[in-house]
Structure 1
Amino acid sequence: MNRIGVGLVCALLLLIQYGSGADVIITSPDPSPTIRTGDPINLTISYSSTPTMIMWTANGSIVVLWLNGAQIPAAKYKTRLMLQEKNILLTDSTTADTGEYMVKVIDTNSDSGNFTFNVVVRDIITNVNVLQTPAVIIESTPDVNLLCRAASGSGSVTWQKDGQPLTNDSSHVLLDRTLQILTPNRTFSGTYSCNMSNPVSWNVGSIVMTVYFPVESVTVTQSLPLVSERSPAVNLSCSTPSGNSETVTWTKDGQPIINNSTHSLLARNQTLQITAPKRAFTGMYSCNMSNAAYWSSGSLLLRVYDPVVNVTVTQSPQKVNEGAALVNLSCSASSGYTEMVTWMKDGQSVTSKNAYSLLDGNRTLQIKQPDRKSNGLYICNISNAAYWGSGSLNLTVSYATPSATSTYSMLIITLLGGILLAH
């Protein structure tokens, strides 16, 4: 039989022999210690007599015997145990060490006594976080559960929203580690924090809960009322009066826009800045605002004006005789966006009336049955909101000139006719 076995036999014999003696009064300053995992379990006792045997047990199993100064530890505690007469210390504690610890003392007068400790070893609470169910919440969601959980440790839980404590009410139900929110609406959006604590540690986790509602009436506005190729930059801004927008994307004529040398997405993509705009940047710009549940879009037609240059007026047909059916004067420019075309003849405005007709957005001036009165300087002006240019053409309508003989003959006929009438 090994040393421990002999010691246990001796201890049992002593307990049988002296178990009915007078009580040894044992006290302790901390009979119910709570220990943090990894910290030592330190149990201290006091008594007034001189012991011959001290036996420590944990949950009914012997931890160590002290016999007249000799220590006989159980194998499972041998490397962790430090024992003095009135103190036992177990290092590297785990939650498995939780339980009832009893010490029994027999003194030199064969009197005995015992004392019980209730030891609790608690894990340190770490990495507390909040799990939201369902993941996406809208205003028609019936209820939401927020679960407070930890990577290690456990304890009691309290809740706050935006720093204010939450209690049971008509909208909030506290269920163990779960906060249940009933019929949430947009005002319930905010930061929810759970504090998990036990006697040895505490930790806080939080989640930003968003109750989504529709994104509506998205509009796009431009920072300049007039954008030309002289403008250094223009900003297009996307906004909505309602709805929580998480993602903003832009397209031009249906094609995605990304950051590059001429396009910059600013203010969480709500502003599209176009640097050194050119005529090629003219187009339909659309902004899409979305969140996890809803989306909506708005559009704006951006017009970048470029100079009106090389305005020319051409004539068809090239040669016009008096009595012809018509002549067309056509106005064009080699570049520049055209918003308005106007005509003048010899400094006077020309409109669609009498012999004149303005066709093809005023780009063509049609003169019906031109005659010598149609001769003159025709000026065409092409303009847009930023630029203008003009071109001109001198129209000549040819007509027949009577000869001198014909004129003289007509005069004789006229005179003879007068004489005959007189008689």
Structure 2
Amino acid sequence: MGFAILTATLLLIQYGNAANLIITSPNASPTVLTGDPINLNISYNSTPTLIIWQYGNGILMATWINGTGWSADNYKNRLTLHQQNISIGNSATKDSGEYTVTVTDTNRDSGSFKFNVVVRERVLEIQSNDTGIYRTGANISLTIWYDGNPSEIFWFYNGNPFVIKTENNEYISDRIRSRMVLQENGSLLIYNTTKDDAGNYSINVTATTTITTTNTTTIVSGSQRFQVKFYDPVGNVTVKQSLQVVSEDTSAVNVTCSASSGYNEAVTWMKAGESITNSTYNLLDGNQTLQIMQPNRTFSGNYSCNISNAVSWSIGYLQLLVYDPLLTVTVTQSPQKVNEGAAFVNLGCSASSGYTEMVTWMKDGQSVISKNAYSLLDGNRTLQITQPNRTFNGLYICNVSNAAYWGSGSLNLTVSYATLRATSTYSIMIIPLLGGILLAHW
């Protein structure tokens, strides 16, 4: 038989001509998993008399001559030969490589076709949808699923085995024994977690699974990795300013944000509900410091700082005041003309700009308080004098101040005689005087 194949091959080499023989295949580069059959199919445009299948550098696999086929001894138990295809069962990774089929037809025309076969290791596909991000103190589940019955389960923590389960043995590290439940398929439940449980977890599973294409069972293994992170919830957020008093004469002020506890991953700032960026402010120390250069009154407002991590967030607030100078302080009088006997007179005090935090009054160098005829209204901005008379005449000074600046204004108040009352009194005094003179004369 070997002599016949060798003779046929020599004839192909001597007389073969591929000009009129065309060989094609629907899949020239098949990829299969270990255990699956390797199916190589061809078609041609004439009537064959000889078909030779070879692997690699000329290793003979099978021949087909005029309707009769033979398999080489090393393929006899797992190769099926038909006229236009072969099927190699129970494939292994060593079966990867180049396969060549040579066809000779009745006209002694010959042609060859090559297949590039890849046999990949069959692995256990282990799947999971766990995120790996948890809150400290939580009960977590490292859940997996796969097809097959496990025979060995190995869990690793940062590369070191801490759970081993085989058919005859089970080992669980003391570090986690009292807080862990290992489920039947290898999924891991951990209770009352701490930051010390964070790290890289991985599982290796060996299991028996069924190859659907051949309805046979095989031993396969697979792995899955988890990167586990734990976060403390973000505690109370405090926002502080570096200077107690900020004015337009301040060169710079820092507003800082910190949380009482928890891991900080992101810090964001807002002013009056609008996001803050580096275009107007300087964001320093991982955004935990908001720096304002050359502050002015436009930077006054309500600031909020949001500190967050993967499991929680918290917000702190600060009202920042940037004081501008009290440029002009004006004292006004209403009504502008006051006579004795009037119901009241109001002295008003105002500044042209700036925050006004304190207003005080003085008359002729003495402090004025709400007492007797004096009433301080509108946050001391109005000094009201009830039933004014000439004793209230004098120089009134209004002092306006805030944490950074102060200014003052003044007004001379004059309470005049009541004209009608003065004339009447004068007439009453003159008439008796004239009467006395006349009586004396007579």
Superposition TM-score, scaled by structure 1 size: 0.60
The one-letter code of the counterpart of 2:142 is N
- Given the alignment of the two structures, is residue 279 of structure 1 paired with residue 297 of structure 2, yes or no? yes
Deviations 1:273-307, CA, capped at 9 Å, x for gaps: 12211111111111112223322211011111111
Instruction: State the shift of 1:269 in Å.
Output: 1.7
SS at match of 2:362: strand
Q: In the superposition, relative to structure 1, how do residues 259 and 405 fare at CA in structure 2: closer, same or farther (>3 Å)?
A: closer
Equivalent residue, structure 1, for 2:198:
190
Deviations 1:103-158, CA, capped at 9 Å, x for gaps: xxxxxxxxxxxxxxxxxx998x9xxxx977144423464323287xxxxxxx9977
The one-letter code of the counterpart of 2:267 is V
Q: In the superposition, relative to structure 1, how do residues 316 and 237 fare at CA in structure 2: closer, same or farther (>3 Å)?
A: same
Equivalent residue, structure 2, for 1:335:
353
Aligned pair partner of 1:210 in 213, 220, 229: 229
Deviations 1:30-61, CA, capped at 9 Å, x for gaps: xxxxxxxxxxxxxxxxxxxxxxxxxxxxxxxx
SS at match of 1:170: helix
Instruction: State the shift of 1:346 in Å.
Output: 0.6
Contact 2:242/2:254, CA 8 A, preserved across alignment:
yes
Q: How far, CA to CA, are the matches of 2:382 and 2:236 in structure 1?
A: 42
Q: How far, CA to CA, are the matches of 1:4 and 1:239 in structure 2?
A: 90
Contact 2:132/2:226, CA 8 A, preserved across alignment:
no
Instruction: State the shift of 1:236 in Å.
Output: 1.3
Q: In the superposition, relative to structure 1, how do residues 397 and 278 fare at CA in structure 2: closer, same or farther (>3 Å)?
A: same
Deviations 1:145-201, CA, capped at 9 Å, x for gaps: 287xxxxxxx9977344x8774533346789997835025242453326599xxxxx
Q: How far, CA to CA, are the matches of 2:317 and 2:142 in structure 1?
A: 39
Equivalent residue, structure 2, for 1:252:
271
The one-letter code of the counterpart of 1:227 is V
Aligned pair partner of 1:236 in 255, 266, 286: 255
Instruction: State the shift of 1:376 in Å.
Output: 0.5
Q: In the superposition, relative to structure 1, how do residues 208 and 305 fare at CA in structure 2: closer, same or farther (>3 Å)?
A: farther
Contact 1:157/1:177, CA 8 A, preserved across alignment:
no
Runs of at least 5 residues in structure 1 that lack an aligned partner in the other structure: 8-73, 82-93, 100-120, 148-154, 197-203, 417-423
Runs of at least 5 residues in structure 2 that lack an aligned partner in the other structure: 8-51, 60-90, 97-118, 145-151, 164-171, 205-222, 438-442
Q: How far, CA to CA, are the matches of 2:243 and 2:331 in structure 1?
A: 33
Q: In the superposition, relative to structure 1, how do residues 400 and 253 fare at CA in structure 2: closer, same or farther (>3 Å)?
A: same
SS at match of 1:297: strand
Q: In the superposition, relative to structure 1, how do residues 405 and 217 fare at CA in structure 2: closer, same or farther (>3 Å)?
A: closer
Contact 2:136/2:195, CA 8 A, preserved across alignment:
no
Equivalent residue, structure 2, for 1:321:
339
Contact 1:132/1:144, CA 8 A, preserved across alignment:
no
- Given the alignment of the two structures, is residue 348 of structure 1 paired with residue 366 of structure 2, yes or no? yes
Q: How far, CA to CA, are the matches of 1:174 and 1:76 in structure 2?
A: 51
Equivalent residue, structure 1, for 2:241:
222
Instruction: State the shift of 1:205 in Å.
Output: 10
Q: In the superposition, relative to structure 1, how do residues 136 and 160 fare at CA in structure 2: closer, same or farther (>3 Å)?
A: closer
Q: How far, CA to CA, are the matches of 1:328 and 1:164 in structure 2?
A: 86
Q: How far, CA to CA, are the matches of 2:228 and 2:283 in structure 1?
A: 27
Instruction: State the shift of 1:231 in Å.
Output: 1.3
Contact 2:132/2:227, CA 8 A, preserved across alignment:
no
The one-letter code of the counterpart of 1:264 is N
Contact 1:157/1:195, CA 8 A, preserved across alignment:
yes
The one-letter code of the counterpart of 2:134 is I
How do 1:81-120 residues align onto structure 2 when only pairs under 5 Å count?
96-97=93-94
Q: How far, CA to CA, are the matches of 1:226 and 1:171 in structure 2?
A: 54
How do 1:8-87 residues align onto structure 2 when only pairs under 5 Å count?
76-79=54-57
Equivalent residue, structure 1, for 2:282:
264
Q: In the superposition, relative to structure 1, how do residues 375 and 251 fare at CA in structure 2: closer, same or farther (>3 Å)?
A: same
Q: How far, CA to CA, are the matches of 1:216 and 1:177 in structure 2?
A: 38
Contact 1:341/1:381, CA 8 A, preserved across alignment:
yes
Q: In the superposition, relative to structure 1, how do residues 238 and 414 fare at CA in structure 2: closer, same or farther (>3 Å)?
A: farther
Q: In the superposition, relative to structure 1, how do residues 214 and 195 fare at CA in structure 2: closer, same or farther (>3 Å)?
A: closer
The one-letter code of the counterpart of 2:130 is T
Percent pairwise identity = 50
Q: How far, CA to CA, are the matches of 2:157 and 2:178 in structure 1?
A: 16
